[in-house]
């Protein structure tokens, strides 16, 4: 296992993060307490130290399972959890509705962090993420609130999930000017099926010294080969145990998944390993999930995979998406003319590594 520096936090995190969203309860599509422990042990045995959870995952049971595991050797692990999203009575009738239990504001943040610390039996959280941007706040006020928690020692670092790039940029600028705890990392969906991150967020993060992590790097299991190869498989998440189902995937998505299988066969490794390596070689740290220990062991094969330029090109082409208009100007069919216009006719003599692509 190799380790990466997580943005401005300086934290050394393993090159593969482990998400615990499907851990905790004995329910279809989830890993019960014993299996959750086996998954975390298999990951940590290979040097994994970077864990992710959230209060909303299985109504706190994911955090509980994570807390039990990391408390065996607390200092060794980088524990991250989130605030903003909570269960509500529509998902679980035992939970009362309350407008201040969710959201980006300070009361929600403080109450959520207190709850997470209690459930995980920890004194501090290594990194707190906003779970999603709820469009109710100015990011400057959020940055000040999280800085208070950092001052109190309850949270060490901060990150954002599912937040527009312009909000990220404003938040980092405010923190830098005021000397507050900066945004160290971002967390968004990124995989060979979903590449939106490449247009705004990755360049934004690179410019501002923020690390980028990818949730659902296997697209919820779609890129593991089990839906595309002739193999027997157990009932799984995309069979209807979760929000996404197999029906959400297009014929083009299946072409991408078969390309992953083809490259895995060529390299003698697993499809999961190839899908994770593609994310990593695009400069993003994959945060994988698992329902069984066998799955995480299969995914960890990624540690010994290096995709060649040709492999990357084949995967990039199979999964290419259309660029938004602003970027397409410099990237699409007319780009050579447009680039030349902006270069006063001297494009070949100007070094500009900033072009999108």
Ligand X SMILES: NC(=O)c1ccc[n+]([C@@H]2O[C@H](COP(=O)([O-])OP(=O)(O)OC[C@H]3O[C@@H](n4cnc5c(N)ncnc54)[C@H](OP(=O)(O)O)[C@@H]3O)[C@@H](O)[C@H]2O)c1
Just list the catalytic residues.
Answer: 57
Binder of ligand X out of 61, 104, 272, 331 (CB under 6 A): 272
Closest separation between CB of residue 213 and ligand X, Å? Answer: 8
Binding mask 11-40 for ligand X (x = CB under 6 A): --------xxxx------x-----------
161 binds ligand X (CB under 6 A): yes
Residue nearest to ligand X (CB): 19
Does residue 149 interact with ligand X by CB under 6 A? no
The reply on whether position 216 binds ligand X by CB under 6 A is yes
Residue closer to ligand X by CB (options 22, 156) is: 22
Counting contacts by CB under 6 A, is residue 187 touching ligand X?
yes
Contact 289, 318 (CB under 8 A): no
Interface with ligand X in residues 318-357 (CB under 6 A): none
State in angstroms the smallest separation of the CB of 3 from ligand X: 19
Nearer to ligand X, 114 or 234 (CB): 234
- Shortest CA distance to 8 belongs to which of 206, 169, 149, 174? 206
The distance between the two most distant Cα atoms of the chain, rounded to a whole number of Å, is 67
What residue has token string 């072409």?
Answer: 255
Phi, psi of 6 (to 5 degrees): -85, 90
Considering beta carbons, is residue 212 or 288 the nearer one to ligand X? 288
Question: Does residue 112 bind ligand X (CB under 6 A)?
Answer: no
H or E stretch including 213? strand 211-215
**301 makes contact with ligand X (CB under 6 A):** no
Using CB under 6 A, which of the segments 113-121, 214-222, 321-329, 333-341 binds ligand X? 214-222
Options 14, 84, 108, 295; binder of ligand X; rule CB under 6 A: 295
Binding of residue 163 to ligand X (CB under 6 A): no
Taking the complex as a whole, the smallest distance from the CB of residue 354 to ligand X amounts, in Å, to: 29
Least Å from the CB of residue 47 to ligand X: 18
Stretch that binds ligand X, among 33-41, 141-149, 219-227, 324-332 (CB under 6 A): 219-227
Tokens describing residue 71: 């408390």
Least distance to ligand X from the beta carbon of 203, Å? Answer: 20
Q: Is 150 exposed, middle or buried (0-12, 13-18, 19+ CB in 10 A)?
A: middle
Residues 48-107 that bind ligand X (CB under 6 A): 52
Check if the beta carbon of residue 131 is closer than 8 Å to that of residue 187. no
The reply on whether position 290 binds ligand X by CB under 6 A is yes
Rounded distance between C-alpha atoms, residue 286 and residue 306, angstroms? 15
**Per-residue H/E/C for 224-236:** HCCCCCCCCCCCC
Query: Is 157 within 8 Å of 183 (Cβ atoms)?
Result: no
Q: How far is CA 46 from CA 36, 78, 154, 191, in A?
A: 16, 15, 29, 23
Burial of 172 (0-12, 13-18, 19+ CB in 10 A): buried
Closer to ligand X by Cβ: residue 102 or 330 = 102
Q: Is 193 in the site for ligand X (CB under 6 A)?
A: no
Q: How far is the CB of 169 from ligand X (least distance, A)?
A: 19
Least distance in angstroms from the C-beta of 355 to ligand X: 30
Q: Judging by DSSP bridges, how do beta strands 12-14 and 3-5 pair with one another? A: antiparallel
* 200 HSE (CA, 13 A, CB side): 13
Distance separating alpha carbons of residues 263 and 196, to the nearest angstrom? 23
Cα–Cα distance list, 217 to 189, 223, 289, 300 (Å): 7, 8, 8, 13
Per CB under 6 A, residues contacting ligand X are 19-22, 29, 52, 131, 161-162, 187, 215-221, 224, 226, 236-237, 272, 287-291, 295, 298-299
């Amino acid at each position: 296992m190799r380790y990466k520096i997580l943005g401005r936090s300086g934290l050394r995190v393993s090159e593969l993060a482990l998400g615990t969203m499907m851990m905790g309860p004995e329910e279809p599509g989830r890993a019960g307490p014993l299996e959750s422990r086996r998954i975390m042990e298999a990951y940590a045995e290979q040097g994994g130290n970077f864990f992710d959870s959230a209060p909303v995952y299985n109504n706190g049971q994911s955090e509980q399972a994570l807390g039990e595991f990391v408390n065996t050797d607390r200092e060794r692990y980088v524990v991250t959890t989130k605030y903003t999203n909570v269960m509500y009575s529509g998902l679980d009738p035992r939970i009362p509705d309350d407008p201040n239990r969710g959201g980006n504001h300070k009361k929600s943040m403080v109450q959520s962090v207190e709850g997470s610390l209690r459930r995980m039996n920890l004194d501090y959280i290594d990194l707190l993420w906003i779970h999603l941007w709820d469009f109710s706040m100015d990011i400057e006020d959020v940055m000040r609130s999280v800085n208070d928690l950092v001052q109190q020692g309850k949270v060490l670092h901060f990150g954002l999930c599912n937040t527009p790039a312009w909000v990220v940029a404003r938040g980092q600028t405010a923190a830098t000017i005021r000397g507050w705890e900066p945004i160290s990392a971002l967390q968004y969906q990124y995989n060979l099926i979903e590449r939106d991150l490449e247009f705004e967020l990755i360049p934004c993060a690179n410019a501002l010294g923020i690390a980028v992590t990818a949730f659902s790097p296997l697209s919820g299991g779609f890129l593991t080969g089990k839906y595309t190869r002739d193999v027997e498989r157990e009932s799984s998440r995309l069979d209807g145990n979760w929000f996404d189902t197999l029906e959400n995937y297009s014929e083009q998505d299946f072409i991408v998944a078969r390309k992953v299988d083809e490259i895995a066969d060529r390299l003698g490794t697993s499809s999961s390993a190839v899908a994770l390596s593609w994310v990593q070689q695009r400069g993003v740290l994959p945060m994988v999930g698992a329902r069984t220990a066998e799955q995480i062991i299969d995914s960890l094969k990624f540690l010994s995979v290096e995709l060649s330029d040709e492999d990357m090109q084949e995967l990039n082409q199979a999964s290419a998406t259309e660029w938004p208009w602003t970027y397409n100007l410099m990237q699409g069919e007319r780009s050579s003319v447009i680039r030349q216009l902006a270069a006063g006719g001297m494009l070949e003599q100007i070094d500009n590594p900033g072009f999108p692509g």
